[in-house]
């Protein structure tokens, strides 16, 4: 298991190269990468604030739940903070399981929970100034399916 909360970019290829390989109990690896998107055409940067200490603890708790529920063989979660440019990677999750349904579901579960239960806050920087990104009701609703 690997959880990293970091300002630096990560190397997706390097993270996935050996993930889940070289063992007999893994038949499926799923990965998701979040990228900074610009919906308005005017965003200059996305700033991510977080709660050092609680962030790592919250993510570890979410990972533990996923491992237990889907019997995962391995998990990687990397989440960046600080100022990120449009098109940059924000975060990634990878799951390794015996079968693909478990790997896909666990990755979705991790994403849903990271979105509304890991203490990060996004702020958009644009020519008009800055604004905090509001949490969406549908993100909270997404937790109910689990």
Partner 1 sequence: MIDVLYFAWVRERIGLPREKMETQAKTVADLVEELKAREPRYEAAFADISALRVALDQDLAEFDAPLEGVREVAFFPPMTGG
Of the candidates 76, 78, 91, 74, which has an alpha carbon nearest to the alpha carbon of residue 36?
91
User: Is 79 or 102 the residue whose CB approaches partner 1 more closely?
Assistant: 79
In angstroms, what is the minimal distance from the CB of 133 to partner 1? Answer: 5
3-state SS assignment for residue 109: helix
Instruction: Out of 53, 85, 141, 143, point to the residue binding partner 1 (CB under 8 A).
Output: 53
Exposure class string for 42-58: b at 16+ Cβ within 10 A, else e: ebebbbbebeeeebbeb
- The smaller minimum CB distance to partner 1, of residues 62 and 97, is found at 62
**With CB under 8 A as the contact rule, which of the stretches 16-24, 36-44, 51-59, 101-109 interacts with partner 1?**
51-59
| Strands 2-6 vs 28-35: parallel, antiparallel or unpaired | unpaired
Can you tell me the distance from the alpha carbon of 31 to that of 27, in angstroms, rounded to the nearest whole number? 14
Can residue 119 be called a binding residue for partner 1 (CB under 8 A)? Answer: yes
CB of 128 to partner 1, least distance (A): 17
Residue of the chain from 135, 141, 143, 146 that contacts partner 1 (CB under 8 A): 135
Q: Pick the stretch among 9-17, 36-44, 52-60, 67-75 that binds partner 1 (CB under 8 A).
A: 52-60
């Amino acid at each position: 298991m690997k959880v990293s909360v970091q300002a630096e970019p990560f190397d997706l290829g390097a993270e996935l190269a050996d993930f889940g390989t070289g063992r007999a109990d893994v038949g499926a690896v799923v990965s998701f990468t979040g990228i900074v998107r610009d919906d308005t055409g005017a965003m200059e940067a996305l700033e991510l604030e977080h709660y050092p200490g609680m962030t790592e603890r919250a993510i570890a708790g979410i990972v533990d739940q996923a491992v237990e529920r889907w019997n995962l063989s391995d998990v990687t979660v990397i989440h960046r903070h600080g100022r990120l440019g449009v098109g940059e990677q924000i975060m990634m999750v990878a799951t390794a399981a015996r079968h693909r349904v478990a790997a896909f579901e666990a990755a979705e579960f991790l994403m849903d929970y990271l979105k509304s239960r890991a203490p990060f806050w996004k702020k958009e920087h644009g020519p008009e100034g800055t604004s905090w990104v509001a949490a969406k009701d549908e993100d909270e609703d997404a937790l109910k399916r689990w």
